[in-house]
Amino acid sequence: MTDNTNISASLQGKLIGEGKLCPVDLCEAYLDKIKNSVDSKLIFSEIMESSARNEAIAAKKRAMKGTRLSGLDGICLSWKDLFEIKNHETAAGSHLLKGSVSKQTAKVVENSSFSGITCLGRTHMTELAFSGLGINPITATPPNAINPDLAPGGSSSGAGVSTSLGLSSGSIGSDTGGSVRVPAAWNNIVGFKTSHGVLPLTGVIPLCPSFDTVGPLTKTVKDASEIYSVLLGSKFAPSRSLSLKNRSFLVIETVALENLDGVIDVQFENSLRKIAKHGAKIKKCKLGLIAEAIALSPLLFAPEAYSIWERNIENSPDAMFKPILERFRSGSKTLAKDYVRAWNDLRRLRSEFNRFINSFDAVLLPTTPLLPPKTEKLLADEAYFNEANINSLRNTRIANLLDQCALTLPTDIDFCGLSIMMPRFTESKLISVGLEIEKIF
């Protein structure tokens, strides 16, 4: 029997439309694969077997009648455990929310359902989404899909692993400082950080609403595009195919290229050479405002996150993993005048950055500056954990700070994601460029 669990979501949708793949068979194949995975409980916080089967049966009936709701009707997605589903517990990877039953369903989950997508269940994540490593001794730490001894990347850890291991057609995560792109890069898949505000956050457990975004983790760029359309609730199509010939890309030599792991450094340069061989123009330059923006991070992220979670945290601080607890609490030390000043500075830097990159098609950078560390060492050494956590998010945070959308693609070498970054609300062009660069790898 053909195993269709490892093919792309868009191809699954195509085969269902052609009558060559049954949605029920696809759903059962995933459920069986999850059941037989020794690590399934470390990856999934909840398997929604009964409802998934019912949704697959409905998709099969629509396919037979020719009344499919979308081109992806019948595929199977997993959802990070911060997307609320009515009458189900949504714990966001934390014991602070244990037993919290949702009274609503997230808008993006509803949009997915309206397009005929089967919901397989929810995936484990970093505690309250506040770490880029994917380590969570409070609930579960998914094993890295490429090397189980290594960190999976976070905070959408189970989302990245479930997609990479073929336990779902794709997965949906959130990205506040890199939480879609880091696990995508460290599990050799595609991660799509959408523009802030383009996808609804209704029913999504917040971390920093000023930066929170929703995005898919997928096997291919085409999958990311089609699933994005589903989440959007309206038809989305990338702009016409954009050949790389004479395209102009910017590489910022400061901060994003500093202290790179040697493997990532070499692979990034190899990626640039391949892109240039296809006719693209690549310009490298220094830009000090990137460092200025990154320096504002402690004044922006932790204060907002702590303002939201202070009461829950201080009522039960012992229920939290200490490094995450201390990261939240660091936000209590920021004065209001410094927070307001930081936002004013960031708005100025965003304007300056967009003016600077206006003549380029996109910015290219390594998705992460480091390879995934060993999980055992991260749990044993708090100082090492904290340093690795900050470094894991260094490059991805640039897009969140400067209000960009971004796409990370796997390259020829494990864990070495290549990021493409463009201004807010340019998803159509970003996907088109991503499709062309993906062909190279």
DSSP letters for 372-404: PPBHHHHHH-HHHHHHHHHHHTTTTHHHHHTTE
- Report the SS3 class of residue 362: strand
Q: What is the pLDDT, as a whole number, of residue 247? A: 96
Q: What is the per-residue pLDDT for 2?
A: 87
Return the pLDDT at 237: 83
Q: Cα(143)–Cα(134) distance, rounded to whole angstroms? A: 9
Low-confidence spans in the chain with pLDDT less than 70: 1
Q: Please state whether the peptide bond connecting residue 243 to the residue before it is cis, i.e. omega within 30 degrees of 0.
A: no
What integer pLDDT is reported at residue 403 of this predicted model? Answer: 98
pTM, two decimals, is 0.98
Q: The domain 1-441 belongs to what CATH superfamily?
A: Amidase signature (AS) domain (3.90.1300.10)
Query: Can you say whether the dihedral through the CA atoms of 73, 174, 351, 254 is positive or negative?
Result: negative
- Over residues 248-260, the pLDDT tens digits come to 999 999 899 999 9
The SS3 of residue 79 is strand
Element (H, E) at 351: helix 336-357
Closest CA to 108 of 261, 216, 210, 238: 216
SS3 123: strand
What is the C-alpha to C-alpha distance for residues 432 and 222, in angstroms, rounded to an integer? 9
Rounded to an integer, what distance in angstroms lies between the CA atom of residue 357 and that of residue 152? 32
Contact present, 166 and 156 (Cβ < 8 Å): no
Q: How far apart are CA 64 and CA 66, in angstroms?
A: 6
**C-alpha to C-alpha distance for 107 and 87, rounded to whole angstroms:** 15
Three-class SS of residue 125? coil
Q: What pLDDT is recorded for position 239?
A: 77
The 3-state secondary structure of 3-28 reads CCCCCCHHHHHHHHHCCCCCHHHHHH
Radius of gyration of the chain (CA): 21
Closest by Cα among 188, 135, 190 to 157:
135
Query: Which pLDDT value is given to residue 195?
Result: 98
Q: In what side-by-side order are the strands of the sheet with 418-423?
A: 44-47, 118-123, 76-80, 170-175, 213-218, 190-193, 404-409, 418-423, 362-366, 248-252, 281-285
Q: In the prediction, which pLDDT does 27 show?
A: 98
How far apart CA 125 and CA 118 sit, in angstroms, is 21
What confidence score (pLDDT) does residue 234 get? 87
pLDDT tens-digit profile of 152-188? 999 999 999 999 999 999 999 999 999 999 999 999 9
